[in-house]
Structure 1
Amino acid sequence: MTCTGCETKLQRTLGAVASVSNLKTSLVLARAEFDLDTKCGSVADVLKHLDRTTEFKCERVEQLGSTIDIIAPNEAPDFVKQPWPEGVTDITVLGKNTARIAYEPEVVGARDLVERGWNEPLKLAPLQPDPSIAAGNNHLRNMGYMTLISILLTVPVLVLAWAPLPEKEIQYNSASLALATVVQVVIAGPFYPKALKALVFSRVIEMDLLIVLSTSAAYVFSVVSFGYLVAGTPLSTGSFFETSTLLVTLIMVGRFVAALARQKAVESIAIHSLQPTTAVLIGEPGEADREVDARLLQFGDTFRVVPESRIPTDGTVLSGFSEVDESTITGESRPVEKHAGSAVIAGTINGSGTLIVRLTRLPGANTIDMIAEMVDEAKLSKPKLQHLADRVASYFVPVIVALTIVTFVVWIAVGVAVRHQSGAESAIQAITYAITVLIVSCPCAIGLAVPMVIVIATGVGAERGVIFKTAQSLEVAYRTTHVVLDKTGTLTEGKLSVVAVDFYGNDKTAAASLLLGLVHNIKHPVSIAVAAHLRLQGISPTAVNNIKTLPGLGVQGTAPSGLLRAGNARWLGLTSDSRTQQSSPSQPHTLLCFTISDTLTATVTMTDTLRPTTPSAIAALRRRNITVHVLSGDDEPAVRAVTDALAIPPALVRARCTPADKQAYVAGLVNAHTLRPVVMFCGDGTNDAPALAAATVGVAVVDSASDGTGAGGNVSVTTAEIASSAADVVLMRPDLEGVVAAVELSRRAVRRIAFNFAWSFVYNLFAVLLAAGVFVNVRIPPQFAGLGELVSVLPVVVAAVALRWERA
């Protein structure tokens, strides 16, 4: 796909298929996604329809969950007919000797399947590159061959036209005619069915039609001129074959260079490239470690991560100590210490130590894949600016055709009335101007102005731990006027430490055991801190039934001794009890109250610390004239201690907030003014889902390195839950700097889009004026008009790619 006309053609063609719905397309990725009603048609029917109506060569990209590609011991069709081992759900033939096996990883592991699933061990097929990138490389290779052939055929024509050779005009022009005919049929020939099918089936007048009209006019004019030469009455302009051949060649060169730049840009932000291909598997007792293909890892495996190597997949450290560079996934520039119990992320780089890691997520379903899926989702979505570009581009080609006709008529009139030329001479001159106008204009820059920036910006954001799930969020984030923040885990570390536990009863051990039984499986920062503290005291949990968490309030359950509740004092009706009052207002704490049958049995006092980066991040938001609000479920003194330290006015702070309170507050900000301010809410993606949905831009924070067993503001949220949450943006580490990065990246991306639009307008305006001869003494020769594609598209691509080169 080369320009927005291609995408419009694809959308209209697929939109006409009754079985297709929820269509998404991407010009830069050359990709379409849609829902298919299999009762009305099959994928094969859709591909056949596309081939008939568009000339696009389509390839189906299959994602069947857990799959593995193997080389069959015999021919693949015969292999499929054999009995399938338990856990195998499907086998697809990929080639004569290769097949793709889909399986349930909870039932059978990839390594067991390959080594022992059949009568003999199977061999893995070579690792296939990302399908989108592979398809782009194939297209680029084919275009490169065609461009090279066009150059080889054009050079002799140019030599025969421009070199000081002996006068054998008819012989030289005969050779030029033969070469130009090959170029027109073989190289330019594919443009004809594309342009005609777009016109007939999709009712789209696209760039290919301009190429067809201009190159055909130049070629036919050259043939006519040659006919006059053979007849002994040569035209004043002579033959024209170098114009048609050079025109086609420069168009091919421009498209090849533009396609190469787009492909390199897409490859540069390919998240899957971070996935290592091998892993060091720790052998069973008595067996040596061995290096295996990472695709053969399975649940239950333990692998060794040697110094200075990438971690093959997500896991939990069993033993060892090291520092891991997680900047490629979370954007955290400082190495992170890892020890027993720490979670590690696929694709991150180990430091100088050795780690023994137990696998928690398989390659193909780990953090890298989750990020890649969300980034792809953003690339396929379209901001409002894209709709503007599409609307402009839809009028572009008809306007150029109209200007071509005007140019032709005006120059005939000028030739006859002003320059007193003959009608034939005026027509010849008018044709050269018209051909130049047709081909020098280029809508490709307009079509790429937005999607090229979206592709690069989403990739750059992902590398810095900021994932935009939609293009719309990237488009509007820079206009943020209000940022509403949760306290725990965003402003603070979220690593609560227990200061004191006070019991109010005779049997303190029994009460502690009941409290541990109530909270030990709850992955909330307060519950985690309490459970960790009680375990260190040697307390064992008592079985508690009917455990239920109440977001923003606490947790409750039942035991033989009665109804158990643990939560804030307001929920439990204990705000007037002196035992729940803040003991030291100068050092505010988070307080958990525990009741049995509505009788206060224990209070747990905890403290949290401010994140080191929070003050600088708040200052950066203020410099952008963004108002910062804080909402928290904690008690007033604990919240005010943090907000006072950050100089956030009390009027912008709310304590003891339930999820409904947060939603109402955010909705009130969004609807407070006629101008509809842009409100960004930053929360954890589960309890804060209503507020995330109410905000203009919802930001979900996740500690991607958490395994749910350690402390952290958002440890209860898995990356998979975040991916499907109400959030528009995902921060891969719980740090407020990610909010600043999201706003800044949005600002830079929109600036690039604005530059691209401006450049497209300026280029096309001056190119058409020069081509039409408005400046009389300065014009673009028709044979060089094909450079227009290169000149117009490259600045757009470079402007987008420059996002990767800028200072973070």
Structure 2
Amino acid sequence: MSKAEFDLDGNASPIDEIIKAVEKSTGFSCKRVNTEGQELDVLIDGDAKAFAERDYPKGILQLSAIDKRVLRITFDPDVVGARAVLADLFGTRLRLAVCRISPDLENGQKHVRETAWFTLASAALTIPVLVLAWASVPPRAIVYGSVSLALATAVQVLIAGRFYASALRALIFTRVIEMDLLIVLSTTTAYVFSIVAFTYLVTGHPLETGEFFETSTLLVTLVMLGRLVSAFARQKAVESVSIRSLQVQTTTLCDADGRNDEKIDARLLQYGDNFKVGPDSRIGTDGIIVTGTTEVDESMVTGEALPIDKSPGSPVIAGSINTSGVIVVRLTNLPGNNTISTIAAMVDEAKFQKAKTQEMVDIVAGWFVPAILVLTLLTVVIWIAVGIRVRLQGTSEAVVAAITYGITVLIVSCPCAIGLCVPMVTVVAGGAAAKNGVIFKTAVALESARKVTHAVFDKTGTLTAGELSIAEEIFLGANLVARPVIFGLTSNSKHPVSMAISSHLVSKGIKAAEVENVRALPGQGVEGTYGGRLIRCGNTRWLSLQNLPEARRLLDAGLTVFGVTVEGVPAALFGLHDHIRPEARRVLAELKKRKIAISIVSGDDAGATDAVAAELAVPITNVRSRCTPGDKQEYMAALATDKRVHTLFCGDGTNDAIALACADVGVHMSSGSDVSQAAADVVLLRPALTGVLVALDLSRAAMHRVSLNFAWSFVYNLFAILLAAGAFVNARIPPQYAGLGEIVSVLPVILVALQLKWFRRDY
């Protein structure tokens, strides 16, 4: 990814000094990452760095120079709009700079370009050396040797010099022996030995082997070629699954009625804007349709296979495609903070998480280079002995031959393939999952989902659609509480039951009363005060209404019962009905087919929970009703006592947050609360249980490719090192061609991971 992230302790040292230290020890350019506000890159008619030192106008959070003429402005969009920033906020009209791609893609492209230039330069310097060494040219050994020495020196200093810096930096600052050290040792050995041989030639005492500058130069060039191919393949793999590519660059600004069209850069959208979307056009950012009806294809963002009907009042999301009618959309989220940005941020976060498999890889890779150094020394010693004792060669000839074998072993071995096995799959799988409507928030979740043996589901909003309707309402006593008070308590709650009550009261034209001290109690209900009296709304168990005859009748009918009390006195009951998600039976049947046990835990009453369990053929022994968040946690903990059980919990509400965190894999339905989403390991972008199957299948496919990559890395390094060391009598790898090992070893790893790009499941 050409990117690293650091969490810094600002109290330990000034941030600027820490940044300099990081840059010095890693070789990366380092900058502070802004997490607040919106960013706008503008062109400055002068020095951007000097411009950034002025006082900040109201609404501006930060000014930072990107290069000599480009300034990045970070602003608060709630205070000032993007167009105002450009027009007059700084007393001069600014111009937008060229839109930059995401930092990871930009850095990757820069790395590919730099590697390409260095490879071309290395090839240009190497080709004359090869011609002088291999072509049929008049014998002028000293002249040709002098030219080859000059060109080889240029290659060693200008091209291979990067390897020296990287290897020394790793040794000094992180105490790690890296792949670059193998390249340094091998090319330096070939280069230095060639200088020694050329010196003997000039003094009139040529060695039997002569100089071989073509070995060191061709070695460097082939290593660079291998790194170029690998860098290009990695970059294309990352680009192909990047969700940010769905973000449009321009949009059509208009009035609410669709008039006064004006095409603008999407970065200049601001709150209060309306924009027009024509047929077969991608929607610029999240919003609500103001006028027009259409069908929208959201498959690229949520994985939803079929187009969705949209009309005034319907939400639309960034990156989806308007297929038919013309619509006018009122903006709800700016491009820098819309659905695409949110998904991309979660995917990027997962890329920086290490899977448990990666820990093993790190150990193997850490010992790989020292082991190769030992093998190289053994190879040199053995071939010196073989040359002198078996082949009856002179000492110098035997040493030279042994050194060529050692050089080949150093360079042909490749820990890069081992190091890329897991992270390459993680990057591609994360992008493929997002395009199928699933977000893995951690690499551990991607790794462990395939092991699930027990799936636990919440009921309301998960197995059921969460679209509750009022089947019956009962007011008790002498109207202790009025509908407006109930509305006032439930109007701000996102729980499906509260939302159903609120929608029901809205349909009756009820207006909410102002209830004070409103407080939500997860797994129980809400409470507040009105007219000095404590009003509570929630489940019958919390309100101790389960034995009330009216409540008992509703419970026996399999309804979800919502009660209201005033100072503990029963005041009202609502019986609610929900319907099971259409895909629930199919998904649970598939899980059972895979030998995965299923449980239902719900905060709802027993009648409603048992009815859903019976309809979905879930054993009553695996059903728990009237569960508080603590009860759900205890149930997950009880399952975890058996080390053979790997649990998955799927839920949506705030009361599911603890259970989501306790499960081996916590899956959050997209329509749920922000609290539960934060606790989950996997987020489903559309409220469909089929996403659970997608997550399990993608995990299995990803880890299968990790295994394939491990197997290839092992097989390659085993046979390559044996060939390089001369273990096969009639076959060996010439030292000058050993640099091709980078391509041969790494490219299959990338291609195997890239296969996940075409992963698709339509359940």
TM-score (norm 2): 0.94
State yes or no: 1:312 paired with 2:289.
Answer: no
- 8 Å Cα contact 1:582/1:589 also seen in 2: no
**Offset at 1:606?**
2.2
Counterparts of 1:596-615 in structure 2, within 5 Å, are 596-615=566-585
State yes or no: 1:684 paired with 2:652.
Answer: yes
Q: Distance in 1 between matches of 2:425 and 2:53?
A: 48
Residue 650 of structure 2 aligns with an amino acid whose one-letter code is: C
Q: Structure 1's 609 and 179: CA in aligned 2 closer, same or farther, altered over 3 A?
A: same
> C-alpha deviations, 1:621-666, integer Å up to 9, x for none?
2233211111112222222222212211000111111111111111
- 8 Å Cα contact 2:253/2:261 also seen in 1: yes
- 1:221 corresponding residue in structure 2: 193
Q: Structure 1's 257 and 653: CA in aligned 2 closer, same or farther, altered over 3 A?
A: same
Counterparts of 1:155-234 in structure 2, within 5 Å, are 155-231=127-203, 234=206
Match of 2:357 among 379, 382, 385: 385
Residue 602 of structure 2 aligns with an amino acid whose one-letter code is: S
Counterparts of 1:491-530 in structure 2, within 5 Å, are 491-504=463-476, 511-530=482-501
- 8 Å Cα contact 1:569/1:592 also seen in 2: yes
**Offset at 1:699?**
1.8
**Offset at 1:147?**
0.4
> C-alpha deviations, 1:575-608, integer Å up to 9, x for none?
22221234696x7322223334444443322222
- 1:65 corresponding residue in structure 2: 37
**Offset at 1:687?**
1.7
Counterparts of 1:429-440 in structure 2, within 5 Å, are 429-440=401-412
- 8 Å Cα contact 1:140/1:260 also seen in 2: yes
**Offset at 1:437?**
0.8
Name the stretch that deviates more: 446-455 or 293-302.
293-302
Percent of residue pairs identical: 52
Counterparts of 1:463-478 in structure 2, within 5 Å, are 463-478=435-450
- 1:451 corresponding residue in structure 2: 423
Match of 1:652 among 619, 622, 631: 622
- 1:589 corresponding residue in structure 2: 559
Q: Distance in 1 between matches of 2:488 and 2:163?
A: 72
Q: Structure 1's 97 and 435: CA in aligned 2 closer, same or farther, altered over 3 A?
A: closer
State yes or no: 1:551 paired with 2:522.
Answer: yes
- 8 Å Cα contact 2:257/2:328 also seen in 1: no
**Offset at 1:57?**
4.8
Residue 797 of structure 1 aligns with an amino acid whose one-letter code is: I
Q: Structure 1's 52 and 753: CA in aligned 2 closer, same or farther, altered over 3 A?
A: same
5+ residue gaps, structure 1:
1-28, 704-713
Q: Distance in 2 between matches of 1:84 and 1:31?
A: 30
Specify the SS of the correspondent of 1:316: strand
- 1:738 corresponding residue in structure 2: 691
Match of 1:797 among 746, 750, 759: 750
State yes or no: 1:578 paired with 2:546.
Answer: no
Q: Structure 1's 319 and 593: CA in aligned 2 closer, same or farther, altered over 3 A?
A: farther
Q: Structure 1's 543 and 228: CA in aligned 2 closer, same or farther, altered over 3 A?
A: closer
Counterparts of 1:252-263 in structure 2, within 5 Å, are 252-263=224-235
Q: Distance in 1 between matches of 2:346 and 2:622?
A: 33
Q: Structure 1's 328 and 42: CA in aligned 2 closer, same or farther, altered over 3 A?
A: farther
Counterparts of 1:230-269 in structure 2, within 5 Å, are 230-231=202-203, 234-269=206-241
Q: Distance in 2 between matches of 1:329 and 1:805?
A: 15
State yes or no: 1:114 paired with 2:86.
Answer: yes
**Offset at 1:56?**
4.5
Residue 440 of structure 2 aligns with an amino acid whose one-letter code is: F
- 8 Å Cα contact 1:511/1:601 also seen in 2: no
- 2:737 corresponding residue in structure 1: 784
Q: Distance in 2 between matches of 1:287 and 1:697?
A: 49
Specify the SS of the correspondent of 1:494: coil
Name the stretch that deviates more: 622-631 or 67-76.
67-76
- 8 Å Cα contact 2:555/2:561 also seen in 1: no
State yes or no: 1:144 paired with 2:97.
Answer: no
> C-alpha deviations, 1:192-236, integer Å up to 9, x for none?
233233333432222111111111221223333334444555444
- 8 Å Cα contact 1:68/1:100 also seen in 2: yes
Q: Structure 1's 350 and 776: CA in aligned 2 closer, same or farther, altered over 3 A?
A: same
Name the stretch that deviates more: 281-290 or 42-51.
281-290
Specify the SS of the correspondent of 1:31: coil
Q: Distance in 2 between matches of 1:577 and 1:340?
A: 44
- 1:664 corresponding residue in structure 2: 634
Q: Distance in 2 between matches of 1:668 and 1:70?
A: 57
TM-score (norm 1): 0.89
Residue 495 of structure 2 aligns with an amino acid whose one-letter code is: H
Residue 698 of structure 1 aligns with an amino acid whose one-letter code is: G
Name the stretch that deviates more: 649-658 or 337-346.
337-346
Q: Distance in 2 between matches of 1:407 and 1:286?
A: 77
**How many residues align structurally?**
761
> C-alpha deviations, 1:447-489, integer Å up to 9, x for none?
1111111111122222222212211222212111211110112
- 8 Å Cα contact 2:432/2:758 also seen in 1: no
Name the stretch that deviates more: 647-656 or 553-562.
553-562
- 1:767 corresponding residue in structure 2: 720
Q: Distance in 2 between matches of 1:584 and 1:206?
A: 67
**Offset at 1:433?**
0.9
Match of 2:607 among 623, 631, 637: 637
- 8 Å Cα contact 1:312/1:346 also seen in 2: yes
> C-alpha deviations, 1:251-293, integer Å up to 9, x for none?
1101111111111222223222222222222238997132222
**Offset at 1:38?**
3.0
**Offset at 1:166?**
4.2
- 8 Å Cα contact 2:665/2:680 also seen in 1: yes
Q: Distance in 1 between matches of 2:707 and 2:729?
A: 32
- 1:423 corresponding residue in structure 2: 395
Q: Structure 1's 117 and 54: CA in aligned 2 closer, same or farther, altered over 3 A?
A: closer
**Offset at 1:61?**
4.7
Superposed CA RMSD: 2.5
Specify the SS of the correspondent of 2:328: strand
- 8 Å Cα contact 2:258/2:276 also seen in 1: no
- 8 Å Cα contact 1:685/1:727 also seen in 2: no
Q: Distance in 2 between matches of 1:779 and 1:614?
A: 60
- 2:669 corresponding residue in structure 1: 701
**Offset at 1:506?**
6.5
- 1:24 corresponding residue in structure 2: none
> C-alpha deviations, 1:494-516, integer Å up to 9, x for none?
111222333346769x7333333
Q: Structure 1's 319 and 613: CA in aligned 2 closer, same or farther, altered over 3 A?
A: same
> C-alpha deviations, 1:395-433, integer Å up to 9, x for none?
111111111111111111111111222222211211111
Residue 193 of structure 1 aligns with an amino acid whose one-letter code is: A
> C-alpha deviations, 1:379-400, integer Å up to 9, x for none?
1111221111111111111111
State yes or no: 1:283 paired with 2:251.
Answer: no
Q: Distance in 1 between matches of 2:263 and 2:477?
A: 58
**Offset at 1:350?**
1.8
Q: Distance in 2 between matches of 1:38 and 1:589?
A: 55
Residue 439 of structure 2 aligns with an amino acid whose one-letter code is: I
- 1:535 corresponding residue in structure 2: 506
> C-alpha deviations, 1:340-365, integer Å up to 9, x for none?
33222222222212333222222212
Q: Structure 1's 758 and 83: CA in aligned 2 closer, same or farther, altered over 3 A?
A: closer
Match of 1:750 among 703, 707, 714: 703
- 8 Å Cα contact 1:61/1:131 also seen in 2: no
**Offset at 1:791?**
0.8
- 8 Å Cα contact 1:520/1:527 also seen in 2: yes
5+ residue gaps, structure 2:
none
Specify the SS of the correspondent of 1:119: coil
